[in-house]
Amino acid sequence: MMKKDAVDGHLARLREDGFTVLRDAVAPDAVAALIDALDRIQRDHGLGPARTGFEGRNTVRINNLLTYDPAFWQVPLHADVLAVAEAVLDPELLLSSYCSLVVGPGQAAQPLHADTQLLPLPRPHMPITLNAIWALSDFTEETGATRIVPGSHRLDRAPDYGRDYDTVAATMPAGSIMLFDSALWHGAGSNNSDRRRYAFSCAYCWGWMRQQENLQLGIPREVAVTFPRRLQELCGYSVYKGQFGHIDNHDPIELLGRERGKRMVWEASDAKAAHAASAAAGDEAGNTALHN
C-alpha cells in the first residue's frame, strides 16, 4: 500500500506538471507475462494495426481488453495507481477506458491531444480523468515514448489538431507507470527503433461521468460475473453516492449475483431519520426513567 507521503508527492506533481511517474511499479516477470499475453491475443484473434491516422496505422490497439484474458484484470486494479487515482478523484471512480498501445517500428508520432478535449467544459478545469500509461518496454526517444507538454493541463485550450508543439519525451524504464491528468497535451512518439513499444493505457474517471468505453455492454455478463468485485465496480456495476447509476433503486452489482449492494441515497436517508428518531425516543425513555 502506498504511503500517504508518497501519494501526496504524486498529487503535487500532478497538480503542477500534470503528470507523475511510478517507478518499479510492475515486476519484470509480470511485464514479460503481459507482453506474452498481448502477442498471443493478437495472434489468436488475428488482430492487426489500427485503421486511422490518429490511432496509428502501425500501432496495434486492443480495446475491451478485459474480455480477452484474465491476465489483463490486474492492470486496472494496481494498488498504487488506485491509491493515487482515488486521491485525485474519489474511491467511487470508474474505469473509463483500457487498451493496449503497441507502437510498431516506423510508426510516426501521434497528433498531440488531450483525452477529454471533446467535452464541453471551460478550461482549465478540475481533473476529470486520470490516465495511467504502463510502460512494458523501455520508453525512450527512439522507441516512441509518449510526448507531453508539461503544465499544459493548466492552459485554457486544447492543442490544434496536427500542429507541431514543443514537447518532451516521457522516458521511463519498462515497469514504470506514468499517471497524467487527461487535460495534459500528449501523444505517442515516433518509433524509430526496430522493436515494438508495448504499453497499456488505463484511464479512470469520476463515478458520475460517462465512461469512454461502454464496458457494461462491451463485456458479456458471463465474463463480468467472474471478475473480482472491485473490477466489477470499476467497470460500472456500481452507483455514485447511492444515486447515479442505480437500476430501479438497486445497485447494479446485484445483477451480477452479488449480495445486497450499496443502499440508495433515499433509503439511506430514511434509515438515518429512523435511527435519529429511535435515538431520540431512547433518550426520552432514558430521561423519563431518570426523573421517576
Ligand X SMILES: O=C(O)CCC(=O)C(=O)O
Tally the C-alpha atoms within 13 A of residue 85's C-alpha that lie toward its C-beta.
Answer: 30
In the complex with ligand X, which residue's Cβ is closer, 129 or 232?
129
In the complex with ligand X, which residue's Cβ is closer, 93 or 133?
133
Helix (H, G, I), strand (E, B) or coil at 244: strand
In the complex with ligand X, which residue's Cβ is closer, 198 or 237?
198
**From the CB of 221, what's the least distance to ligand X, in Å?**
29
Alpha carbon of residue 15 to chain centroid? 17
Q: In angstroms, how far is the first alpha carbon of the chain from the final one?
A: 55
Q: What is the dihedral of CA 22, 202, 180, 190, to 10 degrees?
A: 90
Q: Classify the phi-psi angles of 144: left when phi > 0, otherwise alpha if psi is within -120 to 50, otherwise beta.
A: left
What are the residues binding ligand X (CB under 6 A)?
A: 101, 110, 115, 133, 146, 186-188, 199, 201
**From the CB of 109, what's the least distance to ligand X, in Å?**
10
Q: Compute the distance between CA of residue 28 and CA of residue 17 in angstroms, rounded to an integer.
A: 28
Which helix (H) or strand (E) segment is 55 a member of?
none
In the complex with ligand X, which residue's Cβ is closer, 33 or 109?
109
Q: Compute the distance between CA of residue 246 and CA of residue 238 in angstroms, rounded to an integer.
A: 8
**From the CB of 181, what's the least distance to ligand X, in Å?**
13
Tally the C-alpha atoms within 13 A of residue 35's C-alpha that lie toward its C-beta.
Answer: 19
**From the CB of 244, what's the least distance to ligand X, in Å?**
26
In the complex with ligand X, which residue's Cβ is closer, 85 or 253?
85
**From the CB of 175, what's the least distance to ligand X, in Å?**
16
